[in-house]
Chains A and B, each alone.
Chain A
Amino acid sequence: IAGITQAPTSQILAAGRRMTLRCTQDMRHNAMYWYRQDLGLGLRLIHYSNTAGTTGKGEVPDGYSVSRANTDDFPLTLASAVPSQTSVYFCASSDSPQGGELFFGEGSRLTVL
């Protein structure tokens, strides 16, 4: 039982580089989310998707983009990384866009130098 798989688990990259964090779920959940988690702050929503083919902006979307071509995959792209994007990124899914238990991936630790 895989649940949600994120890749890479950890990455260091230079400022200005493009980076895509991958997220795949095998639970056939409709809703998917990308959060960032920084020390002393709550989880902050970057982008979300209520169903395949649709996406929406969360609390901190600037500098990030997402796509949802199918139910299973929800990649997050940093077009030109900046040091303030150093964080731990969590992908999550839920069977209902209107609330419900979230299932999280193991996280991707990103360091931008």
Chain B
Amino acid sequence: GQNIDQPTEMTATEGAIVQINCTYQTSGFNGLFWYQQHAGEAPTFLSYNVLDGLEEKGRFSSFLSRSKGYSYLLLKELQMKDSASYLCAVLDSNYQLIWGAGTKLIIKP
């Protein structure tokens, strides 16, 4: 079966750096997405990786290793507003999105 694994919850301190990991086993691969979802709100797009390597976008970076079935989202200079759930999703060979359960990130002052 297809599976996306990410930690259920993480805690970090304001101003610090946090890395949220995502491992996947899917039928084929056509890209990996990260979305941010604040409590009670809709998910919003953060990043898309289809080739190996690091994609940087401001304070957020996303890394992909297709051979290892692994990605991470790196958040730098954490702010209180970064408290949210972060969803990892993989586009499989049929162009269907397979979603992880999400990682709830708690930022403490």
Q: Which residues of A contact B (CB under 8 A)?
A: 40-45, 58, 90, 97-99, 101-107
CB atoms of A102 and B45 under 8 A apart: yes
Assess whether A41 is in contact with B31, with CB atoms less than 8 Å apart.
no
- Say whether A101 contacts B96, CB under 8 Å: no
* Number of A-B residue pairs at CB separation under 8 A: 47
Chain B residues in 8 Å Cβ range of A45: 96-97
- Chain B contributes a number of interface residues (CB within 8 A of A) equal to 23
Mostly helix, strand, loop or mixed at chain A's interface?
Answer: loop
Q: Which of B35, B42, B45, B101 contacts A106, CB < 8 Å?
A: B42
Which residues does B use to contact A, with CB under 8 Å? 4, 8, 30-31, 33, 35, 41-45, 48, 87, 89, 91, 95-102
In the complex, how many angstroms separate the beta carbon of B26 from the nearest chain A beta carbon?
A: 13
Task: Determine if B99 and A104 form an interchain contact, defined as CB atoms under 8 angstroms apart.
Answer: no
Q: Are A104 and B42 in contact (CB under 8 A)?
A: yes
Contact call B101/A40, Cβ cutoff below 8 A: yes
11 A-B pairs besides A42-B102, A58-B96 with CB distance below 8 A are: A42-B100, A43-B89, A90-B42, A97-B95, A98-B95, A101-B45, A101-B48, A103-B45, A104-B43, A106-B41, A107-B42
